[in-house]
Structure 1
Amino acid sequence: MPKLDRIIETAIYVEDLDRAAHFYETVLQLPLLLKMERLYAYDVGGASVLLVFKRGASAQDMTSPVGTIPGHDAVGRIHVAFAIGADELAEWEARLAAHHVAVEGRTHWQAGGNSVYFRDPDGHMLEFATPGLWRTY
């Protein structure tokens, strides 16, 4: 049976790409990989990509000389968890506070990990998670 290795990309959909870009580049310090009219792509730890789409701009199929990407879009607030080192949690919390980003929740997991929850400007629930959250992390 074939197996899945990991998630390569996660997509969120936002109302204002420039506002989202400011948050993800300034607060979370994610390196920009690609900037298009309808999409910004960010490197997350050299291991995955966060795609930030302008809401509604990718709803139709997109065909180019290299192939076709079927249309996709979403409405509503989603959840994305970012892996961080246990020794970085306090520094990340201080960074959120410095940028006036409210922490909405904290959890200490049975396996020893910790999570801090906060929102981006579009209301998406973001999480910083230290090892000990899942059996695989």
Structure 2
Amino acid sequence: MKHTRFMETALGLIEISEIDGFVTELFFAKNTQKTADGSQTPVLKEAERQITEYLSGKRKVFDLPLAADGTDFQKVIWEALRKIPYGETRSYKQVAEMIGKPKASRAVGMANNKNPILIVTPCHRVIGANGKLVGYAAGLAVKEKLLKLEQAHANS
């Protein structure tokens, strides 16, 4: 059974979903009409705690059970994204190189676009080859705030 919770943050409303003990979705809710089932499972409670710590600059690495729905290729990309260190960025080409497919920059971008577990799978750390911020499901303003947050706390 799917359980969903919402949490208010300085960056906006975050929706977190869990199925069978695994976080399956984490994104910025566009619909302000909350449709949570009201349950607070241990996994959702822990996810909320870790997101709160992250947004306050206290957490740099997440330790949550994840089960993102995607293709095998997308899952490889999402795993690579979780290896990008806190406070650092990589280009789409660099991520493609990380998975041994240096010509797959465009496919990396498409996988980033389908990432269902934002922040924890840090697609916000992927930028254009020219160093510019490009594409983010929650908008470039949120991406910029996440990167600035990490840069401010990277050495603490």
Q: Which bin holds the TM-score, normalised by the shorter protein?
A: under 0.3
Structure with the higher fraction of residues in helix conformation: 2
Alignment TM-score, normalising by the size of structure 1:
0.28
Structure with the higher fraction of residues in strand conformation: 1
Find the structure with the greater CA-based Rg: 1
